[in-house]
Structure 1
Amino acid sequence: MTASSGEDFEHICMFSLDFQENCNHSVGIFVGLNHDHVHWRQKSRELWLKEGDRNTGYFHRMANAHRRNNSLDRIMINGEWLTEDQEVREGIVTAFQNFLSEESGWRADIEGLHLNQLTPREAEDLEKSFTEEEIHGALMEMRGDKAPGPDGFTMAFWQECWPFVKEEVMELFKEFFEYGSFSKCLNNTFLVLIPKKGDQNAFVRGRQILDASLVANEVIDYWHKRKEKGLICKLDIEKAYDSLNWEFLMKVLRKMGFGSRWMDWMWWCISTAKFSILINGVPAGFFPNSKGLRQGDPLSPYLFILGMEVLSTLFRRAGEGGFLSGCRLRGRGGVVMNVSHLLFADDTIIFCKAEREQVSNLSWILAWFEAASGLRINLAKSALIPVGQVDELEEMAAELGCRLGALPTVYLGLPLGAHHKTSSSWDGVEERMRRRLAQWKRQYISKEGRITLIKSTLASIPIYFLSLIRIPKSVVCSPKEEGGLGIRKIDVLNKALLGKWVWRYAYEKENLWKRVIGVKYGQEGCGWRTKDVCGPYGVGLWKEIMKEADWCWESIVFKVGKGTRILFWMDKWCGNEALSQIFPQLFTLAGNRNAKVSEVWDSSLGQGGWNLRLARDFNDWELEQIGNMLNLLKDFRTSTEEDAVRWKRESNGVFGAKGAYKILVGSSACVFPNRRIWMDKVPTKVSFFAWEASWGKILTLDKLQRRGWQLPNRCFLCGCEEESVNHIMLHCTVVKTLWEIALAIFGVQWVFPESVIEVLLSWRGSFVGKKKKDTWNSIPLCIFWTVWKERNRVYIGEDTYSLLGFLEWLAAT
């Protein structure tokens, strides 16, 4: 041992005493660097990267790019270009003041309409006092790095500081509840000028954006296969949120049965807002509005949907009166239903016969709705789309005042009227991925950042399509449990997402999409599933979805309620198998093999009991099977609840795409220490390096020699052995000393395995206690990372090796 090493060892005995102090100091430095990193990540708006990825250089670049893109040098207002900075600011403020001011004039009355109403109990519940639990729950559901007000305080601040600020917040809500008002300064808002961009969100619980697209395609498919003619009117509402009349909205709320106190709250929230406009990052103007709802306000979508209920009611009344026909679906068994329109936020499509009179009626309805609500249909962006060969199409488009469209087109971001095997439907997805890849600058993004980009962005871009449309027909794509990076296989993910529709059909109640599918294709199995889809492929989507029914139903079991929709022998309701499979001999004796559970349950037997209703008396040798069945059934009985389904692979009994994906991928015999590598407390880059080391993929000298590099192979740390992954990480004499010191701090002695992956598989920490468990679990990863960094530092000649410096670096890591 050299003199220098001897001096180092004199200090090592003090290392364990200074360990906590060094760690605390390093944590302080880390927190400061992390604050800077988070600041630039938020300014970059690159939400797909995690803060632990340390891509601050990339964030700088993206933040500067956003600043350049958002810079406003000139603007055209009312056909005139404004170029001077003061002119631009004044022109924009004046334009917005005029636009957000309501013009006085006549408004159509909606008193004659009958809208859906709340029950008195529902209205009373809305006016209950605010509880701390519901306020805190709503706060924690908000995105942490968003700032809802001009003060710049993000939601993460309020979430983290809730114990300190909750009394003031609760006092604010108490005042609002009692007096119906709060300080008006809390309602001040910044308006930001951004290009118009399509964005869809589901606002009604239990409904999804995909439902409307499924129904629309099935309606078109029905018309095609019956060779019927029809029209689809695809409407665009001009500046929807900004144009809604407040008096109209209050009338709607009153007619729907909302209480006066709740309406007063809503009026205060929408009428006390004041706006400043951010122009090149500087606020300009400060003015109120007298119409419209604020973009970005969580309350706005719900109020807007209530306003659109009037348009939906108008369409329904027109259908009942024969003024708009809709699409009349006639299904198997003579069941009939009518689909006249689909509303999703401000995206609207109407179905009607290819008749000029119907188009004229539609034009009058839209004009009346505009006169009542202030919401104007942008006819320049709306389209009249024919299904089949329609006569006088141009005249009907002129009658409505909109342009002509054609199928296939796009509705809610998904193909409408396109054949299910048309590969061109995926062109938009491919283009979005190309654009994202074009922005990917490898020199700015670390390896772990690239993985995050693939998993959170590139792999998620097609998920919206994969959830409804079947896609035309590596180690990295293996699960983390099998040593992969967890990047999902797109074809398997597609099957899992399509399978969700099979589950939803059984699980959900009477949604529109379910009624349309049930009428069109017919039902079987007491209404839990549809019949097999016959006939050729068209633009309908359900036939492809039904290909996933078999594997889905393998994981679905029934929960008995009344028992009127569950087959006693054929359905899985008292275990993972049907009774016909568990007791096949008794099944042959059943008097009615399709009997429902409610028919076998006999409530006249005292507190109720099971009457198997066999076709004959059973024999002595069948007595044991009867006893086994009754023993199995003793924990089950009918109730007053409705029958339901459960997804047996999830603890909450509800289908999850992640769990379904795992079912389809299947398990592997491969054993990999994924839980020892991918830990929340460890930076992703350190975990990624440990993953590479586990597979022996780091570029040690032996690996470089195999790639054809002509260089000597000697370990840079000990200088005695050839360098390999397992040597540099475990068996180098210098590194062994480091391992022994780290283990000695915890009072542990250990015989080292041969390889990195064996170390991670055998690393256990049950004896260290809960407080030290996270530190103990992270030791191997930190040592791997520290050793590799020190090895590289010595390799480039930055410094000579120092054991004490090595230990200090480990403590910091």
Structure 2
Amino acid sequence: MDPSQENLSTEAALQLEINEWLEREEVKWRQKSRELWLKEGDRNSKFFHLSTLVRRRKNYITEIQLVSGRWIHSRDDIADYFTLKFSNVFHSSLPQIPSDMEGLLESKVSDSENALLSRVPDADKVKKVVWEMNSHKAPGPDGLPAQVAFVPDRWIAENVVLAQEVVHTFHNMKRKKGSVGFKLDFKKAYDSLEWDFILAVMRAVGFDQKVVDLIHQCISTVQFTLLLNGTKSSSFTPARGLRQGDPLSPYLFIMCADVLARLINREVARGSIKGVKLGLGAAAISKLFYADDVLLFCGAKISEVDVLMNCIDKYCLWSGQSISIEKSGIFVSKGVHRNFIAHVKNQWGFRQLSQGVKYLGVPLFLSRNKSKDFAYVKEKLEARANGWKSKSLSWMGRATLIKAVAQSSPLYTMSTCKLPKKLCNDMDGVLRKFWWSPKKSGNKCYSPMAWKELCQPLSVGGLGFRSFESFNEAMIAKLAWWVLSGAKVLVARGACKLVGSGDSILVWSDPWVPGLSNFKPLPKASLEEIPCLDVSQLMNHAKSDWNLGILNSLFDKDTIQAIQNIPKWNINQMDKWIWVKSSNGEFSVKSVFKEQESCPPKSLFAARALWMGIIGIRTDYFQLASASDLVEVVVFPNVEVVDDLLNSDIFTLKGTLILDLLWKTRNSKVYDERPVEIGGIMNSFKSLWSDHSSILKVPGSISHISLGAEGWTRPNCGVIKINCDAAVGSLFSSIAVVARDWRGKLVFTLSKKVNTIIPLQAEAEAILWAGQLSVSHGFSNVIIESDCKACVDVVNALGNCPWLIQSVMVAVVDVLSDLIFWKLCWVRRSANRAPHVFANGLSFIYLGVH
């Protein structure tokens, strides 16, 4: 074709139209497939087609066999069959519920809480909720997603660990009478809960009638329509039950299940049920509840079992629920007579549980062969990775599947159980084969790069995958953090006590100095006798600072420096455990895994850094090459540029796209002897840039970035503006403040030394000093500016407070509250240059300008 301007314009217009139709086709099949784990922007129409076909075949019902043995084939007959079945499930049993609930529940909801709950939300809140809904999960004939959150700050692993401890106690129990456990399964737990029971429980705990009526309308004004083979059947109205997926349902269910717990507690208080003790002096455990998963324990006596069963029968009579005998069962401890087991089986129809039974998705009974016990984890992983529709995924799709689905599915089991090393290695092998050769059968595959290398972070040449063994240890460390005892192999690397009053911290045995390798100080070599001290005895009389005389007599210089770098404490605050590997002091599995897999940066050759370009990894994975000298020179040049430009996704994105295109063009020239066409390269770049920029939602040109430097601005009339900054040295830091009035006139400039070499602490100290100077100088209207966004966000309640500066930030808020008007603002370095220069160049000099 003649490359005239007219033809080029026509080609561009046609290409644009084709891209638009392709995008529409992709969106249609994405929505039909309902594969929400795949990243937005990953174009994989074949995968979406297969997912849609598999889902339709799985959900398609061609015939039903009735109890009599007769088969029905007509779609209308099948629809009527299911409609009748579900109508019976949601038919009320008209329970007899005592109005006072036998005094089991007490009123806990205050008048102010009732007023808040009954308040009508404004339009903005309604809009926010609607806008936060998943675009492919709106309520309608397809229903709501089945998985919802339960109760904040609850961890399902707690119940799993306690259940396993009870089973362990059963195995080692030496009592003659022994104990018995019941694993209960409720039939249609959500669907059979009576509305009258829900409302009665709400009234008993103190909810106002207006709130009760609102909840009643929410759960009763519903109609169900069955979606059978892609067609809606006739609708029906339920008379009881909670909708699966409704955000209200878990809370209402747990509130009602508490009635069963209180029935059991009442009998425990009366001494009718003994429960199980895990050790001498331990509290007796009579129940473990997690939503509708229930474990109950009592002594192996007919009388105790009778009382327990009476509690269950009463709860079922009130709530409308019933026990599924087929799915429930018992397990007993050592020493329980077989006559007792036979009596329980015959009286209530329970079976005796054995190997293979799971509680909350984890094996309840573990044998000596752990690989066999947890083989189901590997089987699920293989089924997901070897599924025929997964074989159609691109490199990017496979990477997403590995990270978002495959490596996440075993995490729940790994959070409570230490999987065998061989099993972890086998699971790594499953994903390694899926990554390199998803379409080949057998266990062997060619791996150009070791799986261990792929599990390294992106910054050092890996893809950020997870080693199952390392992540299992990280998850177990979370459990160790929870109990802070027992297996502390990983926890000891990051668990440290934050000094408050110092009364509960022993100097030599407790970890309390974050700057030392094991957080524990060692005595001076010349110290003949080691005194028994707590940390409070190392402070001065006012507990405002350390007693340097005592420190010099006990520790060497390095230890003293580490102690002086401890964040300022609040003497009114209790000593507490913190996790030093995370900024806010809270434990996180991610920080443990990062510590496990940490390795020094590598020097990568350009060819090794760019190897992913051959197999089509997109930009967000292509950035693993940034450690290469070649790529770093191009993408992250070592030149002075505006921060906005260097740090922007646009700059990095364009650089990596150009590198990718140059590499592929070079390969086409060398191996395929294709001529290099600059116009073709530019068109390819424009197309790639359009795709990637739309995914990242960035503007189409760098011209959108503002390159102008921000400068200092005057405050309003009558307001003093104080700028503060810190300069960190090798042994100490200096902080500086510069105060100016609304006319821009200098009020004062000051600087001083602080005993820390941590930038965040130094910046926090500068803000605190600025506030203290405002009060001491008698200012009433003050604006304080800092270029430390982390500190500013903490004071303005926009971010979590790092543990390093918790006490300082509390002091900042206390000091500023004494002012009539105050404001703490974050500014760029360019608007905070005066204290920055002063802190760096004039440390320890008091200029005395007033």
Q: How high is the TM-score relative to the length of structure 1?
A: 0.69
How do 1:523-602 and structure 2 match up within 5 A? Answer: 529-530=484-485, 546-547=486-487, 549-561=488-500, 563-568=502-507, 570-573=509-512, 575-577=514-516, 581=521, 584=524, 592-593=532-533, 595=534, 597=536
Task: Tell me, yes or no, if structure 1 residue 501 matches structure 2 residue 479.
Answer: yes
- Asked whether the equivalents of residues 477 and 489 of structure 1 are also in contact (C-alpha less than 8 Å), the reply is yes
- Asked whether the equivalents of residues 794 and 801 of structure 1 are also in contact (C-alpha less than 8 Å), the reply is yes
Q: Using the alignment, how far apart are the partners of 1:581 and 1:321 within structure 2? A: 52
Q: Using the alignment, how far apart are the partners of 1:785 and 1:611 within structure 2? A: 57
Task: Tell me, yes or no, if structure 1 residue 471 matches structure 2 residue 419.
Answer: yes
Task: Tell me, yes or no, if structure 1 residue 779 matches structure 2 residue 650.
Answer: no
Residues 666 and 784 (structure 1 numbering): CA distance in 2 closer, same or farther, change over 3 Å?
A: closer
Q: Equivalent of 2:201, from 231, 252, 259?
A: 252
Q: Using the alignment, how far apart are the partners of 2:397 and 2:556 within structure 1? A: 65
Q: Equivalent of 1:382, from 315, 321, 328?
A: 328
Residues 29 and 778 (structure 1 numbering): CA distance in 2 closer, same or farther, change over 3 Å?
A: farther
Residues 122 and 592 (structure 1 numbering): CA distance in 2 closer, same or farther, change over 3 Å?
A: farther
Task: Tell me, yes or no, if structure 1 residue 643 matches structure 2 residue 575.
Answer: yes
**C-alpha deviation, 1:133, in angstroms:** 7.8
Q: Using the alignment, how far apart are the partners of 1:81 and 1:219 within structure 2? A: 47
Task: Tell me, yes or no, if structure 1 residue 209 matches structure 2 residue 163.
Answer: no
Residues 289 and 643 (structure 1 numbering): CA distance in 2 closer, same or farther, change over 3 Å?
A: farther
Residue deviations 1:728-763 (CA, integer Å, cap 9, x gap): xxxxxxxxxxxxxxxxxxxxxxxxx8x567645648
Residue deviations 1:281-338 (CA, integer Å, cap 9, x gap): 222223322210011111111111111000111111122223322102333xxx3311
Residue deviations 1:13-44 (CA, integer Å, cap 9, x gap): xx9xx9xx999997886565344323322322
Q: Equivalent of 2:587, from 643, 652, 655?
A: 655
Residue deviations 1:159-218 (CA, integer Å, cap 9, x gap): xxxxxxxxxxxxxxxxxxxxxxxxxxxxxx6569x9xxxx88762222111111100111
Q: Equivalent of 2:269, from 298, 311, 320?
A: 320
What corresponds to 1:58 in structure 2?
47
Task: Tell me, yes or no, if structure 1 residue 75 matches structure 2 residue 64.
Answer: yes
- Asked whether the equivalents of residues 38 and 51 of structure 1 are also in contact (C-alpha less than 8 Å), the reply is no
Q: Using the alignment, how far apart are the partners of 1:499 and 1:235 within structure 2? A: 30
Residues 22 and 690 (structure 1 numbering): CA distance in 2 closer, same or farther, change over 3 Å?
A: farther
Q: Using the alignment, how far apart are the partners of 1:779 and 1:339 within structure 2? A: 61
Residues 636 and 776 (structure 1 numbering): CA distance in 2 closer, same or farther, change over 3 Å?
A: closer
Residues 54 and 765 (structure 1 numbering): CA distance in 2 closer, same or farther, change over 3 Å?
A: farther
The two structures, once aligned, show a CA RMSD in angstroms of 4.5
- Asked whether the equivalents of residues 200 and 209 of structure 1 are also in contact (C-alpha less than 8 Å), the reply is no
Residues 23 and 500 (structure 1 numbering): CA distance in 2 closer, same or farther, change over 3 Å?
A: farther
What corresponds to 1:410 in structure 2?
358
How do 1:107-256 and structure 2 match up within 5 A? Answer: 107=97, 111-115=101-105, 117-120=107-110, 122-127=113-118, 130=121, 142=133, 144-150=134-140, 190=142, 203-228=150-175, 229-256=178-205
Residue deviations 1:399-447 (CA, integer Å, cap 9, x gap): 1222221256311111113147622111111211221233145652112
Task: Tell me, yes or no, if structure 1 residue 292 matches structure 2 residue 241.
Answer: yes
**C-alpha deviation, 1:374, in angstroms:** 0.3
Aligned residue for 2:283, secondary structure, equals strand
- Asked whether the equivalents of residues 227 and 388 of structure 1 are also in contact (C-alpha less than 8 Å), the reply is yes
Q: Using the alignment, how far apart are the partners of 1:204 and 1:756 within structure 2? A: 47
Structure 1, unpaired ranges of 5+: 151-188, 506-528, 531-545, 697-752
Aligned residue for 1:232, secondary structure, equals strand
Aligned-partner residue type, residue 150 of structure 2 = F
Task: Tell me, yes or no, if structure 1 residue 44 matches structure 2 residue 33.
Answer: yes
What corresponds to 2:700 in structure 1?
none
Residues 565 and 802 (structure 1 numbering): CA distance in 2 closer, same or farther, change over 3 Å?
A: same
Residues 33 and 622 (structure 1 numbering): CA distance in 2 closer, same or farther, change over 3 Å?
A: closer
What corresponds to 1:357 in structure 2?
303
Structure 2, unpaired ranges of 5+: 422-451, 689-850
Q: Using the alignment, how far apart are the partners of 1:116 and 1:588 within structure 2? A: 62
What corresponds to 1:536 in structure 2?
none
**C-alpha deviation, 1:485, in angstroms:** 1.4
Q: Using the alignment, how far apart are the partners of 2:559 and 2:389 within structure 1? A: 70
Q: Equivalent of 2:384, from 436, 444, 447?
A: 436
- Asked whether the equivalents of residues 501 and 571 of structure 2 are also in contact (C-alpha less than 8 Å), the reply is yes
Q: Equivalent of 2:286, from 329, 340, 357?
A: 340
**C-alpha deviation, 1:264, in angstroms:** 2.0
Task: Tell me, yes or no, if structure 1 residue 687 matches structure 2 residue 627.
Answer: no
Residue deviations 1:202-247 (CA, integer Å, cap 9, x gap): 6222211111110011112123223343211110000011100111
Aligned-partner residue type, residue 380 of structure 2 = R
Aligned residue for 1:471, secondary structure, equals coil
- Asked whether the equivalents of residues 95 and 317 of structure 2 are also in contact (C-alpha less than 8 Å), the reply is no
Task: Tell me, yes or no, if structure 1 residue 454 matches structure 2 residue 432.
Answer: no
**C-alpha deviation, 1:342, in angstroms:** 0.5
**C-alpha deviation, 1:468, in angstroms:** 1.3
Residues 112 and 585 (structure 1 numbering): CA distance in 2 closer, same or farther, change over 3 Å?
A: farther
What corresponds to 1:724 in structure 2?
none
Q: Equivalent of 1:397, from 345, 350, 358?
A: 345
What corresponds to 2:687 in structure 1?
812
Residues 631 and 381 (structure 1 numbering): CA distance in 2 closer, same or farther, change over 3 Å?
A: closer
- Asked whether the equivalents of residues 514 and 562 of structure 2 are also in contact (C-alpha less than 8 Å), the reply is no
**C-alpha deviation, 1:501, in angstroms:** 1.6
Residues 254 and 632 (structure 1 numbering): CA distance in 2 closer, same or farther, change over 3 Å?
A: same
Q: Using the alignment, how far apart are the partners of 2:395 and 2:357 within structure 1? A: 39
Q: Using the alignment, how far apart are the partners of 2:672 and 2:262 within structure 1? A: 78
Aligned residue for 1:369, secondary structure, equals helix
Residues 90 and 99 (structure 1 numbering): CA distance in 2 closer, same or farther, change over 3 Å?
A: same
**C-alpha deviation, 1:643, in angstroms:** 3.4
Aligned residue for 2:456, secondary structure, equals coil
Residue deviations 1:526-550 (CA, integer Å, cap 9, x gap): xxx33xxxxxxxxxxxxxxx33x14
Residue deviations 1:241-290 (CA, integer Å, cap 9, x gap): 11001111111111112233322221111111122211112222233222
- Asked whether the equivalents of residues 216 and 416 of structure 1 are also in contact (C-alpha less than 8 Å), the reply is yes
Q: Using the alignment, how far apart are the partners of 1:504 and 1:784 within structure 2? A: 47
- Asked whether the equivalents of residues 42 and 145 of structure 1 are also in contact (C-alpha less than 8 Å), the reply is no
Aligned residue for 2:325, secondary structure, equals coil
Q: Using the alignment, how far apart are the partners of 1:65 and 1:502 within structure 2? A: 42
Residues 404 and 669 (structure 1 numbering): CA distance in 2 closer, same or farther, change over 3 Å?
A: same
Q: How high is the TM-score relative to the length of structure 2?
A: 0.66
Q: Using the alignment, how far apart are the partners of 2:553 and 2:475 within structure 1? A: 50
Aligned residue for 2:108, secondary structure, equals coil
**C-alpha deviation, 1:798, in angstroms:** 13
Aligned residue for 1:242, secondary structure, equals coil
Q: Which has the higher contact order (CA 8 A, sep 6+)?
A: 1
Q: Using the alignment, how far apart are the partners of 2:586 and 2:390 within structure 1? A: 40
**C-alpha deviation, 1:665, in angstroms:** 1.6
Residue deviations 1:570-611 (CA, integer Å, cap 9, x gap): 444464349962764798777542x364x7778xx6x65579
Q: Using the alignment, how far apart are the partners of 1:149 and 1:200 within structure 2? A: 14
- Asked whether the equivalents of residues 342 and 350 of structure 1 are also in contact (C-alpha less than 8 Å), the reply is yes
Q: Equivalent of 2:467, from 489, 511, 520?
A: 489
Residue deviations 1:655-703 (CA, integer Å, cap 9, x gap): 22112111112222314699x999xxxx98433884799999xxxxxxx
Task: Tell me, yes or no, if structure 1 residue 104 matches structure 2 residue 94.
Answer: yes
